[in-house]
Amino acid sequence: MKIQITGLGYIGLPTAVLIANNDIKVYGVDTNTTVVDKINLGEVHIVEPGLGELLLKSVKKGNLSASTKPNEADVHIIVVPTPFKENLVPDISYVEKAILSILPVLKKDNLLIIESTCPVGTTEKMANYIFNEKPELLNNIYVAYCPERVLPGNVFYELVNNDRVIGGINIESTNKAIEFYNYFVKGQKHPTNSRTAELCKLTENSSRDVQIAFANELSMICDKAEINVWDLISLANKHPRVNILQPGSGVGGHCIAVDPYFIAHDYPKESILISKAREINNYKSEWCVEKIINTVLEFNLKNKFEPTIALMGMAFKPNIDDLRESPAVYIINQVHNRLKNNTIISEPNIQTHKIYKLTDFKEAYENSDIVVFLVSHDEYKSLVINEGKIILDFCGIFKLK
C-alpha cells in the first residue's frame, strides 16, 4: 500500500510520519520547496514534540519522501489549508488545487480522503469534479471526508487515540476509509456521510468558540466589577453541572477562530449565537489593546516618563510556535504601532520573526515596567512576580485580578 499526503503542515506532516512509521510507504507533497527539501533531509519545519526523531527515522528507512509533484498511490489524503477571504467567505481554493494536482494520477480503486476543514458539501463537490473530468472513475474510486481533531503539542497521541468521524459519498467509500484508518488509529471510527462529517468538524470548533466567548465576556464584566475572574470561574465550576472555560486574549489558530465562519457564511440567519461568539472573541483582543494603552497612559501621568512594555507570547496557544490567526500577534501589532519603540517582545518557541526582534523572556521581564502576558507558555510560569512591575495577565498565568 502506498499513501500520498498533499499538504505537509501542522497536521499533514505528523500524519505522514505516523503512517510511515507503521512501515507503510508515504509520499508527501507540498508546494513549498523549502519544506520539501527539509523533509527529505529528515529535518522538521514546525514545532511538535517527538516529530523530529520520528521524521528522521522514517526518511532513513525509506518510508517517507517529499516532492512538489504528486505520485501514483493507493490512498490520497488532502490536508491543505482552508482559510477565509477578507469578507469572511470560506476559501476552498487550496483543496480545489490539490484535487486538480492529483487528478492525473488518480486511478481505479483509489481512496481519496479530504481531512481539511471544509464547508458542507465540499466533498461531494470535489467528487463530482473528478467524475466530470474523468468519467471512467465514476463508481470506481472511493471518496470520503474525515476531519482531523488533534491538539498541537500532543498530535501523535491524539492522531492514534482520538475517535474519528468518517463520512463517505456512499457507504462503500465510508467503509473503505474506515478500513484504512484502522491501520494506525486506535480510537473508534464513527461512520456517517460526508456532509454530516463536514458539519461535525465545524460544530466541534464552533461549540468551543461559544464557550470561550462566555469566559471572555465574563472576564470583561469582572474587570469592570473589580472581581478576580479566575476566582469567580473556579467557584462557579464547583457546581456539578457547570464547566466554564478559561478566558484569554482572544481566540486563534486555524480551527476555532476560522471554522464558525464556515457555518455563518452558509447559514447566516440560523447561526446567530455562533456569529455573536465570534464577535465577542474578536472584541476581546481589541479590549486587551485598549487595556494596555490605558495602563500606559496612567503610568505616564503618575511617573512622568514613558514605560517599557514587555509583550509576552505570540503563538495562538501555549507551548507551540504556531502564529496562525493568533490574537497575541494582533494585539502586539496594534500596541507596537501605537507605542513604537517602547515594546519588548518575547516568544520562547520561535527563534526569529520577520518583523519583530525577539527578546529572551527573562530579559524582557526584567527590563520592562509593564509586563503583558498574552500566552501562558510554561516558561513564563517560572517567573517571580516583582511588586515593582505592573502586570497585565490576560491568560491566567498568575491568576491576578
How high is the pLDDT of residue 387? Answer: 81
How high is the pLDDT of residue 88? Answer: 87
Q: How far is 27 from 339, CA to CA, in rounded Å?
A: 48
Catalytic residue among 118, 255, 288, 395: 255
Instruction: Give catalytic status of residue 255 as yes or no.
Output: yes
How high is the pLDDT of residue 141? Answer: 98
How high is the pLDDT of residue 331? Answer: 97
Instruction: Give catalytic status of residue 201 as yes or no.
Output: yes
How high is the pLDDT of residue 254? Answer: 81
How high is the pLDDT of residue 240? Answer: 97
Is the pTM above the cut of 0.85?
yes
How high is the pLDDT of residue 85? Answer: 84
In 60-121, which ranges are E strands?
Answer: 64-67, 75-78, 111-114
Residues of the chain predicted below pLDDT 70? none
- Vertex 124: Cα angle to 183 and 18 (nearest 5): 20
Contact criterion met (CB below 8 Å) for 213 and 287: no
In this predicted model, what pLDDT tens digit does every residue of 71-82 receive, in sequence order? 999 999 999 999
Catalytic residue among 176, 189, 201, 284: 201
How high is the pLDDT of residue 385? Answer: 87
How high is the pLDDT of residue 255? Answer: 86
DSSP state of 9: S
